[in-house]
Chain A
């Protein structure tokens, strides 16, 4: 069996491309109104809980300030991103990738076990434990698949005025439209944080091999 199944590999790279487009066009949208609020409304600095810095042009799509063009990219990339996540969830439930590799076991949650895992990471020892992934890996992949990526879609829909009639209950549940917008921003930066740590750990654990395996699928073994 390959280390990474074909569905995982295809989704991984396609998702990377669209998350990057969404993030960079999102930074332009953030530049259009750099204040975040809690609740249903908010329109000026003194109501804001956070004044977001202005993101420089080299970080944004397009590479100059245009809210109209950024929104075009954002609403286009939202489709393959959302449908791709749906596909990946279906695939990893069907091929048991989630149950076998990502779902945690009760004993892994014991503080002593978690502490051991953290110490192993500090020694840059990532290949400990019996499964494919160690506990911290399972936890972060689980959070990304189960919370961060789906919540981007949920909060994004809650911000859309056209979703108000069918999604009003969700807007209320999130604490209002401006709360949903703040959460959309916070989840986006959580994903950016995951991205940085993920890339750093790939670099520390043999980047050539890791990237090759995510393209070719890696070694075939009897597991």
Chain B
């Protein structure tokens, strides 16, 4: 007991020291710089369009867990779901020459990509599923991205703990061949827990980047004025914007 007490004291002192470092401006800067070093190193190691591993269908997990929002109750989501998402629209707006408003039928008629990929949650678990949908790059090219667009923001129908969910990626991940707007999982329309009727797949990053219940794609020059300015719902709550780590 005494030894545990001593260990607890040493541990607590160490943790207190770490917390003090994190509270200083330099400490906070260092912690966020590390995220950029990882992004730089990972992008240096491989081609920017290099593919995340894809699996044979036999590796698909028997269930695809849903996390975060799994059944949104806000807005008219439940009514839309009851109507089979017949009136769902995906807006493409912001710094584009031709804003679009796409129906699910429009999206299914675009050239499609099907990929069996692994989904890694920031908590640590993984599931494997087969996703189908058009590449985000195709839609951005159709809309005509303007020169000053630096990020693509994903707007979502779900409200989590009082805030609208959103996410963002830079143009490297926006135009990556595996970045698709998925409408199907394992050959069936998306289940509600996995983001029906549309969700993003950002295959080289953690699950929270893969925005569900997608309502709009917005090209922007800066993330500063969106949400709390950190580039996503979880980023606004302290998580890393670059989620390839």
Q: Which residues of A contact B (CB under 8 A)?
A: 20-21, 24, 29-30, 32-33, 35, 37, 40-44, 58-63, 66-69, 71-73, 75-76, 78-79, 159-166, 168, 171, 177-178, 181
Contacts and interface: CB of A to CB of B under 8 A. Distances in A.
B30 A76 contact: yes
A42 B238 CA distance: 26
B204 interface: yes
Contacts of B50: 165-166
Nearest to A178: B126
A29 B206 CA distance: 14
Contacts of A166: 42, 45-46, 50
B102 interface: no
Given A32-B123, A33-B123, 4 more contacts: A62-B19, A67-B123, A71-B239, A177-B118
B122 A32 contact: yes
Contact of B120 (A61, A63, A161): A161
B171 interface: no
Contacts of A160: 38, 42, 244-245
B157 to A, nearest CB: 24
B38 A162 contact: yes
Nearest to B128: A41
Interface residues of B toward A: which range? 35 or more
Interface stretch (B9-17, B83-91, B130-138): B9-17
A177 B207 CA distance: 14
A69 B239 CA distance: 8
Contacts of B16: 63
A60 B244 CA distance: 23
B128 to A, nearest CB: 5
B81 interface: no
Nearest to B49: A165
A163 B125 contact: no
B126 A41 contact: yes
Interface in B99-143: 118, 120-128
A162 B44 CA distance: 11
Contacts of B51: 165
A33 B123 CA distance: 5
23 contacts: A29-B124, A33-B121, A33-B124, A33-B125, A41-B127, A43-B126, A44-B65, A58-B8, A61-B14, A62-B18, A63-B12, A63-B16, A67-B239, A71-B239, A72-B32, A72-B35, A75-B240, A76-B34, A78-B34, A160-B38, A161-B120, A164-B204, A166-B45
A71 to B, nearest CB: 7
B65 to A, nearest CB: 4
Contact of B125 (A42, A72, A76): A42
Closest 9 pairs (CB-CB, A-B) = A162-B244, A68-B238, A165-B50, A33-B124, A76-B34, A43-B125, A166-B46, A63-B15, A33-B123
Contacts of A33: 121, 123-125
A62 B15 contact: yes
Interface stretch (B52-60, B190-198, B217-225): B52-60
Contacts of B239: 67-68, 71
Name the residue in A40, A42, A60 with the highest tally of chain B Cβ atoms < 10 Å from its Cβ: A40
Nearest to A71: B240
Nearest to A62: B19
Contacts of B203: 161, 164
Contacts of B126: 40-43, 177-178
Contact of A35 (B14, B53, B125, B206): B125
Given A41-B126, A58-B8, A58-B12, A161 B52 contact: yes
Interface string B211-245: 00000000000000000000000100111101111
Nearest to B235: A68
Name the residue in A72, A73, A165 with the highest tally of chain B Cβ atoms < 10 Å from its Cβ: A165
Contact of B15 (A24, A67, A171): A24
B127 A164 contact: no
Given A69-B22, A79-B34, A164 B124 contact: no
Contacts of B61: 41, 43
A75 B245 contact: yes
A72 to B, nearest CB: 4
Contacts of A73: 18, 22, 31
Contacts of A68: 234, 237-240
